[in-house]
Structure 1
Amino acid sequence: MFDNIIVSAAAETADKLSIGDAAITAVFGYAVVFAGLIILMIVLYCTGAIFKSKDAKAKAAAEAEAKKAAPAEPVAETKAELPLAPGSAGHVKLFDVPDKEAAMIMAIVADKMQKPLNELHFISIKEVK
């Protein structure tokens, strides 16, 4: 019952609106939507700022606690560095292979062998045709 009344009232109002009135109504509608979006953006920005400040305070407190609990002794090295393979930084002879492809090939070989690239020694790379 009320649905028919609302629909007929809206239809009569739409027939009575001029182009200028419709434009003003549309502009006010857009203004309300954009104002709501701006308010939502401000709320989200403020919420993010609050959480960032809480996070920074917690991090600073954790660092201060770690400094108090840390011993005064110097930290010993945990792993000795491996020496570089002889000639690993030397030149590689490339035959019909661009530098970019040669670097990719060397990286793939090192990955498949599960060895660091500095432990491998490449002498030459040649494209097989």
Structure 2
Amino acid sequence: MFDSVMTMSAEVAEETTKAASDISIADAAVTAVFGYTVVFVGILILMIVIYIVGAYFKSKDAKAKQNAVDTAKTAAPAAAPEAAKPVAPGSAGHIKLFDVPDKEAAMIMAIVADKMQKPLNELHFISIKEVK
């Protein structure tokens, strides 16, 4: 089986070599120029498509920016400055601590408040448990 495949591939190679040697230089030149032209036109079409898509998205972005500017101009006079939020009461109740000292619980609550960028008195902790 392997020998028959090798024989067939050798025959195909010989036929291809004969066909390639039968082509004159002028025919080969015409074929090459035609191939180069097809590739060049394909790249040119691809470039035009990319340019059109880019122009579409640029115009879409410009329209969105213009709408945002128009909205900001109309909304700016209507918006009044916000009043400061009232301070929350001092105690938020009791917290259940499970195997956590008071000092560590206070540090954990301070870290959470800092990460959330909220004052500690606006947060309500129910319980703190050490994960082992």
Counterpart residue number, 1:47 = 53
Q: What is the Cα-based RMSD across aligned positions, in Å? A: 2.1
| Greater share of residues in helix | 2
Matching residue of 1:97: none
For 1:58 and 1:47, the matched residues in 2 are separated by 17
Report how far residue 71 of structure 1 moved.
2.4
Structure 2 residue ranges without an equivalent (≥5): 79-132
Q: How does 1:113-128 map to 2 (within 5 A)?
A: none
- Using the aligned pairs only, state the percent identity: 56
User: Gapped runs of 5+ residues in structure 1?
Assistant: 73-129
Superposition map of 1:1-129 within 5 A = 1=5, 3-4=9-10, 6-71=12-77
Distance 1:5 1:42, change over 3 A: farther
Say which one has the larger Rg: 2
Q: Residue deviations 1:89-113, cap 9 Å, x none?
A: xxxxxxxxxxxxxxxxxxxxxxxxx
- Given the superposition, is the C-alpha separation of residues 34 and 6 from structure 1 closer, same or farther in structure 2, using an over 3 Å criterion? farther
Runs of 4+ residues deviating >6 angstroms: none
